[in-house]
């Protein structure tokens, strides 16, 4: 996720009400998001939500334009953030549903210079 998209998401999140989450897992509860009619939000719903509600609405309000994003971009962001936070690679592989650890580490996890710099700085402990 680029910094521009992150800024846009942080703005949206800061202005919304937190969803009510139930912890019961019966196949229909425990999801973070539901449609207006109370049904579970699926991938196609998210595609529509991101394109028409988040991006189009955001871009009509703010000067800094949000680029086109998909739920899969969020999947990459989740994987990268969990890896950067120190989550065990095998646990992350399991959570992502990847058969091969290479997919988790080489395709879905993204790091940059700042991430590498922070890790090196951890090694310079006196």
pLDDT tens column, 68-77? 777 788 888 8
Question: Model-level pTM?
Answer: 0.56
**Span 10-60, pLDDT tens digits:** 777 676 655 554 544 445 544 455 666 666 666 677 777 777 777 888 888
Whether the CB-CB separation of 69 and 58 falls below 8 Å is answered with no
Contact 82, 55 (CB under 8 A): no
């Amino acid at each position: 996720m680029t910094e521009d998209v992150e800024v846009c998401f942080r703005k949206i999140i800061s202005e919304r009400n937190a969803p009510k989450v139930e912890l019961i897992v019966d196949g229909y509860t425990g999801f973070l998001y539901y449609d207006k009619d109370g049904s579970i939000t699926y991938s196609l719903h998210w595609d529509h939500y991101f394109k028409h509600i988040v991006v189009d609405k955001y871009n009509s309000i703010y000067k800094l334009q949000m680029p086109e994003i998909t739920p899969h971009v969020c999947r990459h962001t989740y994987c990268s953030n969990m890896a950067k936070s120190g989550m065990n690679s095998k646990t992350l592989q399991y959570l992502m549903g990847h058969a091969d650890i290479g997919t988790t580490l080489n395709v879905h996890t993204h790091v940059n210079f700042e991430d590498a710099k922070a890790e090196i700085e951890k090694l310079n402990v006196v």
